[in-house]
Amino acid sequence: MSYSHKVKEELYRHIDEARHCRLSELSALLRFSGQLKLPLRIESDNRMFAIKCFTLLQKTFNIQRYAAEREGFPCETPFRLEVSDPAENERIFSALSNELLLQRGCCRRAYLRGAFLAAGSVNDPQKSYHFEIVAQEAEEAELLCKLFQSFSIEARITKRKNSEVVYIKDGESIVDSLNVMQAPVALMAFENVRILKDMKNNVNRRVNFEAANIGKTVSAAVRQRKAIELAKKLPEFEELPESVKEAARLRLEFPDLSLKELGEMCEPKVGKSGFNHRLRRIIELVEDEL
């Protein structure tokens, strides 16, 4: 099962307690599946989608009559549900189209959940960070962006064929969206992958950093050895203090050792900067030729 399916399974099972939230979610489920119109007719190939719409409709409008229609419900495909009474049809439709639906934070969460269930998807975080909800109208896409914004989540819109796609690319914002829609299990799974990925990136960054440092050390050693070879040909070299000549000899003899290690081989021992200072005196002799 894809990650997107897992998220949806979790969200399909979530039924809000409050009537206002259920109205909001049902409104988004119908609107984003292109079915918020008169007469109300809910149709879907997806059993979970149909059952969720049915459950919300039944609980929200307290319509027992649908129970009978539900008998054969899970068997036929596409799953279909019609509200036969015209007056009831109008009543439900106007309740679902009410603009005051989205005033509460809880209802905005429910609406985003409904929109995602009807027209959304989210990539497996192992692959890439991508979350999207496809809207048919620019107005719908803008509404979703505003709703995300009310939870401090930055969503963007891009055109795809005849639709407007609301998308989120940032891992942290996707986690926030899963939280807003109330999918804690899927959220944890996403976070686990994200933490591992971040750790890997950090390790890689560190390895690269250390490799760069090793490179620096090597190129410094190459430069020092070249300087010594050149300086040895000069008469001034012989006039240098014994300690400096010792440093030169050690550097040539042990090209792979660090300055600290070379310093420890001196008699008496000398620190890294002391050893470096001795090599500096040789480098100064031939600086122009390096």
Query: Smallest distance from the beta carbon of 21 to Zn ion, in angstroms?
Result: 3
Q: Could you give the CA distance from residue 100 to residue 106 in angstroms, rounded to a whole number?
A: 13
Query: Smallest distance from the beta carbon of 15 to Zn ion, in angstroms?
Result: 13
Contact (CB, 8 A) for 168 and 174: yes
Contact (CB, 8 A) for 242 and 201: no
23 binds Zn ion (CB under 5 A): no
Bridge partners of residue 240, in order along the sequence: none
Query: Smallest distance from the beta carbon of 135 to Zn ion, in angstroms?
Result: 22
Query: Smallest distance from the beta carbon of 17 to Zn ion, in angstroms?
Result: 9
Which of 19-27, 84-92, 222-230, 274-282 is the region at the interface with Zn ion (rule: CB under 5 A)? 19-27
113 binds Zn ion (CB under 5 A): no
Among 36, 63, 106, 257, binds Zn ion (CB under 5 A): 106
Query: Smallest distance from the beta carbon of 150 to Zn ion, in angstroms?
Result: 13
Query: Smallest distance from the beta carbon of 215 to Zn ion, in angstroms?
Result: 59
Q: Which residue's CB is nearer to Zn ion, number 24 or number 33?
A: 24
Backbone angles phi, psi at 167, to 5 degrees: -135, 160
Number of chain positions touching Zn ion (CB under 5 A) = 6
Which of 100-108, 163-171, 219-227, 254-262 is the region at the interface with Zn ion (rule: CB under 5 A)? 100-108
Among 14, 47, 70, 104, binds Zn ion (CB under 5 A): 104
Query: Smallest distance from the beta carbon of 114 to Zn ion, in angstroms?
Result: 12
Query: Restricting to residues 145-164, which ones interact with Zn ion according to CB under 5 A?
Result: none
Q: Which residue's CB is nearer to Zn ion, number 104 or number 194?
A: 104
Among 7, 40, 107, 187, binds Zn ion (CB under 5 A): 107
Among 21, 133, 174, 240, binds Zn ion (CB under 5 A): 21
Query: Restricting to residues 44-73, which ones interact with Zn ion according to CB under 5 A?
Result: none
19 binds Zn ion (CB under 5 A): no
Q: Could you give the CA distance from residue 255 to residue 261 in angstroms, rounded to a whole number?
A: 11
Q: Got the DSSP string for the chain?
A: --HHHHHHHHHHH---SSHHHHHHHHHHHHHTTT--SSSPEEEES-HHHHHHHHHHHHHHHT-TTHHHHHTTTTTSSSEEEE---HHHHHHHHHHHT-GGGGSSHHHHHHHHHHHHHHHEEE--TTT---EEEEESSHHHHHHHHHHHHTTT---EEEEETTEEEEEE--HHHHHHHHHHHT-HHHHHHHHHHHHHHHHHHHHHHHHHHHHHHHHHHHHHHHHHHHHHHHHHTSHHHHHS-HHHHHHHHHHHH-TTS-HHHHHHHSSS---HHHHHHHHHHHHHHHGGG-
Among 20, 22, 31, 52, binds Zn ion (CB under 5 A): 20
Query: Smallest distance from the beta carbon of 136 to Zn ion, in angstroms?
Result: 25
Q: Which residues contact Zn ion by CB under 5 A?
A: 18, 20-21, 104, 106-107
